[in-house]
Amino acid sequence: MAVAWSLPTSTAREVCDRLTGRRERAYTTIMTTMDRLHRKGLLDREKDGQAWRYRPTVSRAEFERALADGLAVEILASHGAAGLAAFVDAAARVDEELLDQLTALIEQHRNGPKGKR
């Protein structure tokens, strides 16, 4: 996805060429991965000659938010208050300013429109 986000559109060959040098990857692996990302709705595609030309359907920020939301729900659903406490403790270890941001987000959520709760 990082390569797809860095280009307006890309083919599997273009992605494979961009990835060469870091670690050798087979073209067919890249092609299969891009097809799977298309089936999951993360990439859109259109025919370009013999190849498919792909374009991300979500921005990096949207993807990261959805991923973080999913992880948070999973942690809180599985571990409840312990998961919440661990999350707050981790925020404090990473950056004290995150706790202020967390407080502001909680207040914003509490004071937001009633229909969004």
Q: What pLDDT does 14 receive?
A: 93
Render pLDDT for 47-80 as a digit per residue (tens, 0 to 9). 999 999 999 999 999 999 999 999 999 999 999 9
Mean pLDDT of 18-44: 89
Strand intervals (E) in the chain: 43-48, 51-56
Asked whether the predicted pLDDT for residue 8 surpasses 60, the reply is yes
2-56 CATH, one of 3.30.1280.10, 3.40.50.300, 2.60.40.420, 1.10.10.10: 1.10.10.10
Could you list the beta-strand ranges (E) of 8-61. 43-48, 51-56
Residue 21 DSSP code: T
What does the domain layout of the chain look like in residue ranges?
Answer: 2-56, 60-116
Please give the pLDDT value at position 74: 95
With pLDDT > 70 as the criterion, what percentage of the chain qualifies? 93
